[in-house]
Chain A
Amino acid sequence: MQAEEKFTYETWPAAPEKATLEAKNKFLGFWFFLGGETVLFATLFATYLALKDKVPNAEAALAKDIFEIPLAFAATMLLLTSSLTSVYAMYHMKNFNFKKMQMWLGLTVLLGALFLALEIYEFNHYVHKFEHTFTSSAFGSAFYTLVGFHGGHVAFGLAWIITLMVRNSKRGLNLYNAPKFYVASLYWHFIDVVWVFIFTVVYLMGMVG
């Protein structure tokens, strides 16, 4: 099977993300990359836990003072839903339905952008209301680094998916770009999984003190 070949619904392979050698390599390589990313975030989580509530003086805000459930819950719902919509997109990709795939990816991007907007609002809120900044304490540095790294991943993922959507909008699916869409959606799921841990470790555990 060639990467440039034209396909129809009938000839489209069952696993287009692994149909060519290049695709197989990309698929496996990306899983390995996510393995490395897991260690990266694990290290950031460890750093955060070591520095949580480590502040220079008694006036500085602690985790239990600043985090609120409604905001974190809304962000979590947005990101979890965006993971679901990206699953639908991949379902349509496997069924060679380019239009519907693009539609669901568009929805994923929208939800991801809303999440990012909420995060920017949240950071802004902490800075102005609690004077909890990147430079105010070790706790602040660790918090903004962990959550900010995740936010950076979300922003990169958005740029990536939008690039793929625009680049391929005119030509539809083939075995050259199908693995690219698939790998981007894997990345998106990974970001989502990391957020589940951030929600638990930073926000839920933060509020119980």
Chain B
Amino acid sequence: MSTYAQKKGFGATLWDFLTTVDHKKIAILYLIAGGFFFILGGLEALFIRIQLAVPNNDFVSAGFYNEILTMHGTTMIFLAAMPLVFAFMNAVMPLQIGARDVAFPFLNSLGFWLFFFGGVFLNLSWFLGGAPDAGWTSYASLSLASETHGIDFYALGLQISGAGTLIGGINFLVTIVNMRAPGMTYMRMPMFTWATFVTSALILFAFPPLTVGLFLLIFDRMFGANFFDVSMGGNTVIWEHLFWIFGHPEVYILILPAFGIFSEIFAIFSRKRLFGYSSMVFATVLIGFLGFMVWAHHMFTTGLGPIANAIFAVATMAIAVPTGIKIFNWLFTMWGGSIKFTTPMLWAVAFIPSFVAGGVTGVMLASAAADYQYHDSYFVVAHFHYVIVGGVVFALFAGAHLYWPKMFGTMLNETLGKITFWLFLIGFHLTFFIQHFLGLMGMPRRIFTFLPGQGLETGNLISSIGAIFMAVAVIVLLINVIMTSVKNEKVGNDPWGDGRTLEWAIASPPPFYNFKQLPLVRGLDAYWLEKMEGKKGMTPAEPLGDIHMPNNSFIPFVISFGLFIAAFGAMYRADYAWGLPVLILGMAVTLGSMFVRSIKDDHGFHIHKEDLMEDDNDKGVKA
């Protein structure tokens, strides 16, 4: 039995996860935290649908409804979808490029803890006087008028978790540029790695405007500034611009990794090389670029004028072109393939019509003149749930089933997986398809109730019934996870049997140093290539030698915790005398631990060649 496979006590395991800098463990942390927030956001969604199931309902009050809908959007985007996407990026991308870890393992951990404390801070608002209630977009005209501390929780919490995301993005960029295995050229990178690369670039350029926007909001609400106070010369439209300059790239930050996951799935389960690989790369980069050119389509009715609206309308429609390229490439990948309808493949196949429906309504909304009709109606709600649920959430479910064996070494049950899929697919279309029509019939979004006799009853009831299907689907998935973990039947390197890329060439889960010897990459789909030539594994690109590894560290946790304390100080500074000292204390903890990190050398350690060879003998026959 090798040392790292021994059973550890709960305390030791907890400490290991609090201090880990291993990308595979950080991926698990992202998966657990993101999954928790996903369930939280899902419960909020259920509350919304219960309230709207019948007219004149009083399940929740109007004010509480505003809090629920704000937190549903904010939680799902920032605390569920983003971290879950990060979970797969962390788990898979370094393996796909044949690296032993990410470029900055310490920063990887810091990024996670910042996100985590930001998310916890934001959700503590439920218990400390009320959650934010100005919508996930938090337009300044509304958010400045909000009387509770909810908006402060929103601004400070997102500021902290946004810093973590930015750090993660830089980390992935450097990892992909500098740490690819020998032979892994850019045009041999798996599509998911390409998606991670472009997504990280979007994060790098999209998050600073949000940072500034949130700072302006924090300064206005907590420090007496006047950026958005019209009577003092301020201008609330600045917030709309800054938010959407971030917010539009944000939706591509979510969907591009989803495209990456589906590209992997289509190739694996069609047992064919991805059709039009280079055009897929081109389309991904083009979508990333155009994503920055279209933010004002969220502001057609703000009054920017016909010229601005026309330019942004055309730019928006242009994005349909590279997206269309991708859709056709996926279809052609399946064409003539020998398709296996596994759970991940079912999600991928269902994704295409669902996402195309969202894309079509997207082009409808992009027509500025028509948008004056759709704006702020349930039509918009239907549209973005079709792209975000039909695209991103489907990909997260598909990715969870696909990569579960690589992350945990066990296979999720296929039957339960398919039950989850069908329940969720039916529930999703029941809930959101009808909302297009509710919107066109005039039902405004963010409304807390509606009157009987306006033709909205049936549609809303159907929509609410659909939500129950989705909730049951998630429960089935949770049961599946528990059953799989209890059974704990370990699987080999390539449990799907058709893995194409490097992650399937090593053990599930991989040893903490990933590759004993860095693999030699001889083409696209490196592992598939070797298998087709009758080889069992990758050809090593280096002799067996010592491996340099980073040390674990508790400092990332402390840095993030300091900001968590400081945020409370900033928020209560105006109300209580202890606010300012707490703010200073929190910043001192953060800056102090950064200082300690700076002056204490951290050279990491080496795993010696002899120990690596011993590992081999311990395991006995290879799976």
| A→B interface (CB under 8 Å) | 3-4, 21, 24-25, 28-29, 32-33, 35-37, 39-40, 43-44, 47, 50-51, 54-56, 134-135, 137-142, 145, 160, 163-164, 167, 176
Tell whether, in the assembled complex, residue B178 and residue A28 are in contact, meaning their CB atoms are under 8 Å apart.
yes
Interface pick from B227-235, B355-363, B555-563: B227-235
Contact yes or no, B227 A29, CB < 8 A: no
B21 touches A (CB below 8 Å): no
Q: When the two chains form their complex, are residues B225 and A145 in contact, meaning their CB atoms are under 8 A apart?
A: yes
Provide the residues of chain B in CB contact with A137, threshold 8 Å: 226, 232-233
Interface check B451, CB cutoff 8 A: no
In the complex, what distance in Å separates the CA atom of A70 from the CA atom of B216?
Answer: 30
In the bound complex, residues from chain A placing their C-beta under 8 Å from that of B103 are: 25, 28-29
* Complex CA–CA separation, A184 to B160 (angstroms): 24
B173 within 8 A of A: yes
Q: How many A-B residue pairs have CB under 8 A?
A: 111
- A36–B174 CB distance below 8 A: no
CB 8 Å contact bits of B569-600 with A (1 = contact, 0 = none)? 00000000000000000000000000100110
Closest residue on chain A to residue B223 by CB atoms:
A134
Which of B23-31, B46-54, B86-94, B202-210 lies at the interface with chain A?
B202-210
Contacts of B209 in A (CB 8 A): 39-40, 43
Q: Is B171 an interface residue (CB 8 A)?
A: yes
- B235 and A138 form a contact (CB under 8 A): yes
Q: Which 4 A-B pairs have the closest CB atoms?
A: A54-B233, A138-B233, A141-B225, A40-B208
From residue A58, how far is it (CB to closest CB) to chain B in Å?
12
Q: Can you report 25 residue pairs joining A to B where beta carbons are below 8 Å apart?
A: A21-B178, A24-B178, A25-B174, A25-B179, A28-B173, A28-B174, A29-B103, A33-B170, A36-B166, A39-B208, A43-B245, A47-B216, A54-B233, A55-B232, A55-B233, A56-B231, A135-B223, A135-B224, A138-B232, A138-B234, A141-B225, A141-B226, A163-B599, A176-B601, A176-B603
CA distance A25 to B170 in the complex (A): 10
Q: Is A54's CB under 8 angstroms from B205's CB?
A: no
Could you tell me if B170 and A36 are in contact, using CB atoms closer than 8 angstroms?
Answer: yes
The minimal Cβ–Cβ distance linking A160 to chain B, given in whole angstroms, is 8
B518-565 contacts to A (CB < 8 Å): none
Apart from A40-B211, A135-B225, A138-B226, list 18 A-B contacts with CB within 8 A. A3-B603, A25-B104, A28-B103, A29-B104, A35-B204, A35-B205, A36-B204, A36-B205, A39-B209, A44-B212, A51-B233, A51-B234, A54-B233, A54-B234, A134-B224, A135-B224, A138-B227, A138-B233
> Which of B166, B227, B245 is within 8 Å of A51, CB to CB?
B227
Number of interface residues of B (CB under 8 A): 41
* Inter-chain contacts of A43 with B (CB < 8 A): 208-209, 212-213, 242, 245
Q: Which of A50, A138, A163 contacts B598 (CB 8 A)?
A: A163
The answer for the CA separation of A134 and B599 in the assembled complex, in Å, is 36
Which residues from chain B contact A160 at a C-beta distance below 8 Å? Answer: 598
B215 at the A interface (CB under 8 A)? yes
In the complex, what residues of A have CB within 8 A of residue B234's CB?
51, 54, 138, 141
Residues of A within 8 A of B212 (CB): 40, 43-44, 47
Shortest CB-to-CB span from A146 to chain B, Å, is: 10
A-side interface mostly: helix
**Given A43-B209, A138-B226, CB of A51 within 8 Å of CB of B235:** yes
Nearest A residue to B209 by beta-carbon distance?
A: A43
Whether B216 contacts A145 by the Cβ 8 Å rule is yes
- Contact at A4–B208, with CB atoms within 8 Å? no
- B residues in contact with A145, CB < 8 Å: 215-216, 219, 225, 227
Q: Which residue of A lies closest to B237 (CB)?
A: A50
Residues of B within 8 Å of A51, CB to CB, are 227, 233-235, 238
Indicate whether B321 reaches chain A with its CB closer than 8 angstroms: no
Closest A residue, CB atoms, query B241: A46
Once bound together, how far apart are the Cα atoms of A131 and B445, in whole Å? 45
Per a CB cutoff under 8 Å, which of B104, B220, B235 touches A50? B235
A163–B598 CA distance with the chains assembled, in angstroms: 8
In the complex, which residues of chain B have a beta carbon less than 8 angstroms from the beta carbon of A176? 601, 603
Q: Are A37 and B208 in contact (CB under 8 A)?
A: yes
Asked if B177 is at the interface of the complex by the 8 Å CB criterion, the answer is yes
Q: In the complex, which residues 228-266 of chain B have their Cβ closer than 8 Å to any Cβ of chain A?
A: 229, 231-235, 238, 242, 245
A139 → chain B closest CB, angstroms: 6
Question: Whole-angstrom distance from the CB of A156 to the nearest CB of chain B?
Answer: 9
Question: Closest approach, in angstroms, between the C-beta of A183 and any C-beta of chain B?
Answer: 12
- Give the complex CA separation of A160 and B595 in angstroms: 9
- In the bound complex, what is the Cα–Cα distance between A135 and B233 (angstroms)? 11
Q: Are B207 and A36 in contact (CB under 8 A)?
A: yes
- Cα distance A4–B166 in the bound complex, in angstroms: 30
Closest chain A residue, CB of each to CB of B203: A36
Cα A55 to Cα B595 in complex, Å, equals 41
Closest to B177 in A: A28
A118–B358 alpha-carbon span in the complex (Å): 56
Verify A140–B205 contact, CB threshold 8 A.
no
Chain B residues 143-181 with CB under 8 Å of chain A are 166, 170-171, 173-174, 177-179
